[in-house]
Amino acid sequence: MAPASPSAPPASAPAPRPADGKREFRAAELAEAAGITTRTLRFYRERKLLPPPRREGRIAWYDEHHLARLRSITALLARGHTLGGIADLMDAFEKGRDARTAAEVMGLDGALATPFSDETPVRLTPEELADYFQGEVTVDNLAASLDIGYVAIDGDEFVHTSRRLLEGSAELVAKGIPLAAVLEAGRELRSTTDEIAALFARLFRTHLLPLQNTTDPTELSDLLARVGPIAKQVVEAELGLALDRRVRAELEEWLSGRCASGDESEGGSEAPDAPDAGETPGAGASSAP
């Protein structure tokens, strides 16, 4: 009797572990774990919404990154995003891996620790990021966030550099300011604050560091930790004074414009002329017999 021809292992057979030990799925297993049909999975693959699987002969093996991507697609669809928009976002997501590392965004790539910032980085899935900004996470806005350095991509998640910046930006968007405008303001603000930081850095290097008798990184960090709050206090005070000046001027200009437009609209309807002195109303008309 002829030997049986080799066939694919049954679906119930355990998936072989790749070299890194992470779990892998066949197509049917992945679809079941993601809560979709295998037909939908094939459609997503055809639309380039998923990276190619690992091939072993005729079998396609998917991993946990594919599962995370499918869950993000499902969540974004539920939030009103189109498949075309999701494809563009995922493409920007993949390209963004080369923009900045998570370590750079979180400030962990330097040998010398500087104690000025106490910001807390935030990890977000793509759908969580979309929730923060009410559907305004477009390809252009995502590219701007990556370029400014607000976010980086780590695995299947975004890493935002600061919870305070994230929540502050989301609050501005919730109040009606477009995310694109918030990001453009953030880009300008980052440039301006970088110049302020350069000013203090020159002060420290020119006048403070020459007084030190050590090059030990720990001792220098301790020194900066003592002067850091002074620099931030000065900047906060100057910012408050500048906001008072600028916002007051803008408000006064806006109010004067409103008042002027109101006066013009009221002046459009003129009151009838008053009769001359000594003239009785209706004097020009014939009197009754």
Residue 280 in this model has a pLDDT that exceeds 90: no
175-220: pLDDT as tens digits: 999 999 999 999 999 999 999 999 998 998 899 888 888 888 888 8
> Helix or strand or coil: residue 130?
helix
Q: How far is the first Cα of the chain from the last one, in angstroms, to the nearest whole number?
A: 138
Tally the residues of the chain. Answer: 289
Taking the C-alpha atoms of residue 54 and residue 107, their distance in angstroms, rounded to an integer, is 34
Q: How far is CA 28 from CA 32, 34, 44, 51, in A?
A: 6, 10, 14, 17
Residue 273 in this model has a pLDDT that exceeds 60: no
Please compute the mean of the pLDDT values over residues 141-156 and round it to a whole number.
86
